[in-house]
Chain A
């Protein structure tokens, strides 16, 4: 099979880190990523494993940080090298189904007992299973040597990871299901603050900083699953602002105007560089020192900042967080969600509905062949600046395409 593979070569990561500020394509060319032809991963002996043939696979921010050598060393012990990236996958399974991949390699995939009946792969409060069972360590497909990843012409996946998608759903919609699930998970993480605001008779305000793929999916999730919420979005580029509005944002402004927009919305004051009040909750869909610091400035005391963007190393003055008793919570992947109406659902089920209903295929800006990975990486790294959102690899070759209508 043909695959893009990341090897554990410290020198290559260092080169990528040096080159990436100048050229993402250069980082792809000289860094740890390489295009190889090799045997497909072997199926484990456990039941329920399938070979799947990707149709489209997305390029995610976490993939880019790996290719560019910026990923946190935290993951060193949670992944297994070499591995094939790619976890936003729509594929054909070996039994003829068209599926999207829920990439978390959970208990079922590793042959371990579920933390509770009906648990999704991402559930559980002990991550020991991510480095155990029948697979090598790996938080997800796309970070695990045993399974391969979506940036290849073939990989393996467990039945617990596969979701059959409706016939009417296009591949372009389906490839957005995984990021949509992440966005919905972050959106629902605001519910404690939002529900408390509603109980007090206030209009809940959620700010979203960043409107790349994840920010936009969070906006869609907020609009669909978090009732009564006013959504204020800070997005760097005009096309992102327009998409944010079309997905349900009430207000979309340039990112550097978000603090003032939140103030206008909630009617509080400004002291120093912090709002005296602010949004009930904020979703940081950027994930760096500046964005987290900004979110702390315009989230109200005892509010919540949901980190959707992967932050890696950050440097922050946390005095404001201490003083305002702000909660910062991570929003990683998905699992079983407790919805405001009291029901529980798996995030991926919500995401499949969302991708279709919100026509998320409009976020797919360009497709590339695997052979053109350097151009694809460069495009993805400059997506906002180039008026794009999601860049994907098109691996369909001669297979029928279910294109965007």
Chain B
């Protein structure tokens, strides 16, 4: 029986706590008597018969007819699936998307459906490489569809292949992939890694254009999403749900398939990363020591390759299909069941170890903007109720934060770092002053459409993701980060955790309460 999440009160006997530092980690001693560590629940048991569960979901959907009843010869069927940003790390083969898509295709074949398109719903993310597509959908699907141009990637900048469906009562434009909009049935294959994913966000974001996305990917929406992990208090979700209504009213018929995974994040050589430190065995300590010593001597490029080759042993814990909102309600329950940890009260300082990976640097570099997004956009928002850190509090992150960017994946990030952050770190100011220029830059547009580059506007979205945290906190400190780079982000560099706590004392006093979010594995703090 897996143990639930756990909040450890640090005392004198508590061993040092593991902190991620990009492609490395360290052990940090937190002050006794006023520190606590939040550990994720242990992985829930996996479904034994995955294929059986998928088939059962397709044949017994929620609030919709069984999938076979919706399939007929001569119909236009489009299958859209979550892109390379999920799950993290990538899961061991076979990927759950492959299993679901194969099951859907089997039913389509039985019904005589021969007009099938499969689309990667990447919104403004970079296009997936062939190997990434093969990993996600499997060789059989890839070889059957890709060579004939029937497996492809959504292009949010292709005016000929976008359908404008109208506006929400709030005046939000709704424009999505034309093939998806004009199909007799759109089947969406989702992986719900965190509570933010899924629901109408799958289609209204994943298949949308910039014109549509800008209505909810902006500082105001982000500041009023408290948090992204709590759909009912998230403006991001409310906007997507309004857009979903426009989709329905426009006649877009969606069959949503959502899956949840357990938190089995790291394979056995790295198993100690998910363990509670006082339960480390001598072999775990040896592995930690050997790993850190080796990584200290490993060039960052090589270390990056090692970590990005990790395939997580994630296992599916649920699959449900049918009507979007009804399905998502069930999915969210499953996510919460795996990830919720009850936490009492807020803290003065929240400490975060930033790992090597985020949704936007798979097989890539965790550049400084993504470090910000991971800390302030994602980890800060891993709460329900109220933020883990009090208003006016401090976040301390550990990460090398080098001024390194992937030139192919993140070209506009480099300009954003050099030009925009040199001018302002205020999300509202940059959205007014700079966003349009980047969003409409023909070079970025070209790179997004034809190579493997994130859209020109994407670094803005990453920065906006942290809008609430930027407003909420009085200081953000990065331990071990390149000082010049950290200052460009508007944060304060510190050499050690003690140094960081000293710096933080200016605003939270000499004896602040400290909370460490021991992630990954991912969790959501249910703060009361």
Point out residues on A near B: beta carbons under 8 Å. 253-254, 257, 260-261, 263-264, 267-270
Residue B443 is within 8 A (CB to CB) of chain A in the complex: yes
Cβ A269 vs Cβ B443 within 8 A: yes
B443–A267 CB distance below 8 A: yes
Closest to B417 in A: A257
Chain A, residue nearest B441 (CB): A267
Q: Are A267 and B418 in contact (CB under 8 A)?
A: no
User: Is B443's CB under 8 angstroms from A261's CB?
Assistant: no
- Provide 12 A-B residue pairs closer than 8 Å at the C-beta atoms, listed in order of the A residue: A253-B418, A253-B419, A253-B422, A257-B418, A260-B414, A261-B418, A264-B415, A264-B419, A264-B437, A264-B441, A268-B443, A269-B443
Chain A residues closer than 8 Å to B411, beta-carbon distance: 270
- Are the CB atoms of A267 and B442 closer together than 8 Å? yes
A226 and B255 alpha carbons, distance in the complex (Å): 63
Q: Which residues of A contact B419 (CB under 8 A)?
A: 253, 260-261, 264
**A257 to B422 alpha-carbon distance, docked (Å):** 12
How far, in whole Å, are A267 and B443 apart by their CA atoms in the complex? 7
Residue of A nearest to B442 (CB): A267
CB neighbours (8 Å) of A253 from chain B are 418-419, 422
**Which of B415, B419, B443: most chain A CB closer than 10 A?**
B443
Question: What 1/0 mask marks residues of chain B from 406 to 445 whose CB sits below 8 Å from any chain A CB?
Answer: 0000010011001100100000000000000100011100
- Say yes or no: A260 contacts B443, CB within 8 Å: no
Which residues on the A side are within 8 Å of B329 (C-beta)? none
Contacts of A263 in B (CB 8 A): 443
Residues of A within 8 A of B446 (CB): 269
Q: In the complex, what distance in Å separates the CA atom of A371 from the CA atom of B441?
A: 57
* Chain B, residue nearest A241 (CB): B422
The chain B residue with its CB closest to the CB of A257 is B418
Q: Which chain B residue shows the least CB distance to A251?
A: B419
* Distance, CA A257 to CA B418, complexed state (A): 7
Distance (Å) between the CB of B437 and the closest chain A CB?
Answer: 8
Given A261-B419, A264-B419, check contact A270 B443 (CB 8 Å). yes
* A190 shortest CB reach to chain B, Å: 24
Contacts of A261 on B, CB cut-off 8 Å?
418-419
Query: What is the bound-complex CA distance between A270 and B443, given in angstroms?
Result: 8
Say whether chain A's binding surface is mostly helix, strand, loop, or mixed: mixed
User: Are B415 and A260 in contact, with the CB atoms below 8 A?
Assistant: yes
Chain B's closest residue to A270 (CB) is B443
Q: Which residues of B contact A267 (CB under 8 A)?
A: 441-443
Contacts of B442 on A, CB cut-off 8 Å?
267, 269
A269: chain B residues within 8 A (beta carbon): 442-443, 446
Q: A253-B419, A264-B415, A264-B419 given. 13 additional CB < 8 A pairs? A: A253-B418, A253-B422, A257-B418, A260-B418, A263-B443, A264-B437, A267-B443, A268-B443, A269-B442, A269-B443, A269-B446, A270-B411, A270-B443
Cα distance A165–B419 in the bound complex, in angstroms: 41
Nearest residue (CB) in B for A253 is B418
Give A269 to B415 CA distance when docked, in angstroms: 13
List, in ascending order, chain A residues with CB within 8 A of B437's CB.
Answer: 264
| Closest 10 pairs between A and B when the two form their complex, measured CB to CB | A269-B443, A257-B418, A260-B415, A264-B415, A260-B418, A267-B442, A264-B419, A269-B446, A253-B418, A267-B441
CB distance from A21 to the nearest CB of B (A): 26
Q: How far is the CA of A260 from the CA of B442 in the complex (A)?
A: 14
Q: In whole angstroms, how far apart are the Cα atoms of A267 and B456 in the complex?
A: 12
Using Cβ atoms and an 8 Å threshold, which residues of chain A touch B415? Answer: 260, 264
In the bound assembly, the distance between CA atoms of A260 and B407 in angstroms comes to 12
Cα of A230 to Cα of B418 in the assembled complex, Å: 19
Cα distance A269–B444 in the bound complex, in angstroms: 8
Name the CB-closest residue of B to A260: B415
The CA-CA distance from A269 to B450 in the complex, in Å, is 13
Q: How far apart are the CA atoms of A404 and B404 in the complex, in Å? A: 44
Most chain-B CB neighbours within 10 Å: which of A254, A268, A270? A270
A257 cross-chain contacts in B, Cβ below 8 A = 418
In angstroms, Cα B418 to Cα A253, docked, is: 8
Q: How far is the CA of A264 from the CA of B443 in the complex (A)?
A: 9
In the complex, residue of chain B having the shortest beta-carbon distance to the beta carbon of A252: B422
- CA A254 to CA B419, docked complex, whole Å: 11
For B414, the chain A residues whose CB sits under 8 A away are 260
Q: Which residues of B contact A260 (CB under 8 A)?
A: 414-415, 418-419
Q: In the complex, A270→B414 CA distance in Å?
A: 13
Q: In the assembly, what is the distance between CA of A264 and CA of B446, in Å?
A: 14
Distance, CA A261 to CA B418, complexed state (A): 9
| A343 CB → nearest B CB, Å | 38
CB within 8 Å of A: which B298-319 residues: none
A249 to chain B, nearest CB (A): 14
CB nearest neighbor in A for B437: A264
CB distance from B449 to the nearest CB of A (A): 12
A290 to chain B, nearest CB (A): 19
How many angstroms from the CA of A264 to the CA of B440 in the assembled complex?
11
What residue in chain B is nearest A256 (Cβ atoms)?
A: B418
Closest to A277 in B: B443
Tell me the bound Cα distance from A264 to B419 in angstroms: 9
Once the chains are docked, how many angstroms separate the CA of A260 from the CA of B419?
Answer: 9
Chain B minimum-CB-distance residue to A269: B443
Looking at the assembled complex, report how far the CB atom of B145 sits from the nearest CB atom of chain A, in whole angstroms.
32
Residues of A within 8 A of B422 (CB): 253
A245 to B: closest C-beta gap in Å:
12
**How far, in angstroms, from A254 to B441 measured CA to CA in the complex?**
22
B509 smallest CB distance to A (angstroms): 35
A257 to B414, CA, bound (A): 10
In the assembly, what is the distance between CA of A252 and CA of B483, in Å? 22
- A264 cross-chain contacts in B, Cβ below 8 A: 415, 419, 437, 441
A270 CA to B422 CA in the complex, in Å? 22
Query: How many whole Å from A278's CB to the nearest CB in chain B?
Result: 12
Give Cα A257 to B415, complex, Å. Answer: 9
Which residues on A sit within 8 Å (CB–CB) of B418? 253-254, 257, 260-261
The distance from the CB of B157 to the nearest CB of chain A, in whole angstroms, is 15
Chain B residues with Cβ under 8 A from A268's Cβ?
A: 443
Complex Cα–Cα for A260 and B446 (A): 16
Q: Which residues of A contact B441 (CB under 8 A)?
A: 264, 267
A264–B434 Cα gap in the complex (Å)?
Answer: 11
With the chains together, A222 CA to B65 CA distance in Å? 72
- Note all chain B residues with C-beta closer than 8 A to A270: 411, 443
Closest to B414 in A: A260
Q: How far is A267 from B437 in the complex, measured between Cα atoms in Å? A: 9
Q: Least Cβ distance of A103 to chain B in Å? A: 39
Bound Cα distance A264, B436 (Å): 13
**Complexed CA–CA distance, A294 and B341 (Å):** 55
Q: B439 to chain A: closest CB distance in Å?
A: 13
Measured CB to CB, the closest approach of chain A to B402, in angstroms, equals 16
List residues of B (130-177) whose CB comes within 8 Å of A's CBs: none
Contacts of A254 in B (CB 8 A): 418
CA distance A313 to B160 in the complex (A): 54
Bound CA span A26–B414, Å: 41
- Shortest beta-carbon distance, B325 to chain A, in Å? 43
Q: Which residue of B lies closest to A275 (CB)?
A: B443
The chain A residue with its CB closest to the CB of B418 is A257
Say how far A211's CB is from chain B's closest CB, in angstroms.
16
A268 to B443 CA separation, bound complex (whole angstroms): 6
Interface of chain B residues 435 through 477 with chain A (CB within 8 A): 437, 441-443, 446
Q: Which among A253, A254, A260, A264 has the greatest number of chain B C-beta atoms within 10 A?
A: A264
CA gap between A267 and B414 in the complex, in Å? 15
Chain A residue nearest to B440 in the complex (CB): A267
Q: How far is the CA of A263 from the CA of B446 in the complex (A)?
A: 14
* B196 CB → nearest A CB, Å: 32
Complex Cα–Cα for A82 and B411 (A): 55
Considering the complex, give the chain A residue whose CB is closest to the CB of B438: A264
Closest CB in chain A relative to B422 CB, distance in Å: 8
Cβ distance B408 to chain A, nearest Cβ, rounded Å: 11
Q: Separation in Å of the B268 CB from the closest CB of chain A?
A: 44
Give Cα A360 to B442, complex, Å: 40
The CA-CA distance from A260 to B418 in the complex, in Å, is 9
Nearest CB on B from A107, distance (A): 49
Name which residue of chain B comes closest to A268, CB basis. B443
A257 to B442 alpha-carbon distance, docked (Å): 20
A98 to B443, CA, bound (A): 55
